[in-house]
Amino acid sequence: MSTWTRRHFFQGAAMALAATRVVGANDRIRIGVIGIGGRGRDHIQSFLQIPSAQITGLCDVNQAARERAQSILAKAGAPKAEEFTDMRRMFDSKEVDAVSIATPNHWHALATIWACRAGKDVYCEKPASHNIYEAYKMIEVARETKRMVQIGSQSRSTPHKIRAIQELQNGIIGSLYMAKGLCFKRRRSIGKTPPEPVPPGLDWDLFLGPAPMRPYTKNRFAYNWHWFWDTGNGDIGNQGIHEMDLCRWALGDIGLPETAVSTGGKFVYDDDQETPNTQNASFSYGSKQITFEVRGLLTGPEGGQPVGTYPVGNLYFGSDGWMWLDERGYQVYKGEKNELAADVKAERGKNTTVLHMENFLHACRTRNHKDLTADIEIGATSVILVHMANVSYRVGRVLHWDGRARNFGADAEANKLISRDYRAPYVVS
């Protein structure tokens, strides 16, 4: 970007910030929801449970998705929201104070950056970004614009998980030396779907956005976009990012590792999926380690879970014992005989996404990003581990991270995967 362009761009951004409505303590924060698939509809249902929020905008590249969202509002007795196909038009709206982003992964960074520069606060689904470069750029822009950016890692607002992490950091199993994340979510074959005409009402160019132009296929749309490198990050970046974040959190929000290595493959199935359905990753911090495992095929349990289950959770290992943590609660085992020292069940109460969104709205009022439980810096750091694992898997070797240069040293093939070739005009910069 030239000096002239940069100067005038930030002048425009400053004007947008000046025009942003100041939200008072008793005002409802007006929310625009972007991306109204399954998770986007969850966002709508969650915001509808928060009296201090009002949904005033709905944005999706698919007309049918917008219609379904309006039906949810109508059923809840909420006013009809303004509809947008292109999120840039929503960012221009003076009737939207903050946006909630539930698009595919490849849109998270650009949507967040555009929103921040338009003076909107942002709640963005996990994973924070589609690649390493984007993660750093999101932090930079959030700080430049002084916008609140919360990543949808709702474990950070989940009462029993907060308690478990506090227990670990207080030494319940002694000195921690390893955190392991498990994503044993059963994934069946997606099969093969041929190219076909774009369905009526769908803007395929906008759906692809920063990604390369590809022919429309059913597998590249809807949920299965997770399994293509253009748009997703595999299950380590889908379900797995929650557990990766819990690994870092337990180790004191530890930063980035010295080395990263990941192996695995797409086994058994002959289908369109590009990302691995079986993946092992290891991150070395010298005296501590994070490990991660994805198993999408038939598998047995781990961490004391019953046979027939597919565990998704975390194992923590310390000098005095170990802990298992998942959505149902946590168990602590200590000593040479693995004696059960604690068995804590998850509290029944408010939906954790609602709790996480309430925390976001609180920070929108205080204007202090330190009030966020999953500020962009937390979410971006955790997702960089995901990206390191995927880069290692794709190039087939151990990676050494240079934190000062923010790259993999002289490894040109790995460094190329730190960012991507963006399709104009959908460029992250």
Tell me how far apart the alpha carbons of residues 374 and 151 are, in angstroms, rounded to a whole number. 6
Strand segments, DSSP code E, in 87-233 are 98-101, 121-124, 149-151, 176-183
Summarised one tens digit per residue, pLDDT across range 368-399 is: 999 999 999 999 999 999 999 999 999 999 99
Summarised one tens digit per residue, pLDDT across range 225-237 is: 999 999 999 999 9
Candidate CATH numbers 2.60.120.10, 3.30.360.10, 3.40.50.2300, 2.40.50.140; the one for domain 157-348+384-416: 3.30.360.10
Burial (0-12, 13-18, 19+ Cβ within 10 Å), 181: buried
Summarised one tens digit per residue, pLDDT across range 251-292 is: 999 999 999 999 999 999 999 999 999 999 999 999 999 999
Q: What is the DSSP string of 294-324?
A: EE-SS----TTPPTT---EEEEEEESSEEEE
Rounded to the nearest integer, the mean pLDDT of the chain is 93
| Residue 18 pLDDT level (bands cut at 50, 70, 90) | very low
Candidate CATH numbers 3.30.1490.20, 3.40.190.10, 3.40.50.720, 3.30.2180.10; the one for domain 3-154+352-375: 3.40.50.720
Q: What is the DSSP string of 276-291?
A: -SEEEEEEE-SS-EEE
pTM of the predicted structure, to 2 decimals: 0.93
| Residue 20 pLDDT level (bands cut at 50, 70, 90) | low
Domain ranges of the chain: 3-154+352-375, 157-348+384-416
pLDDT for 25 equals: 55
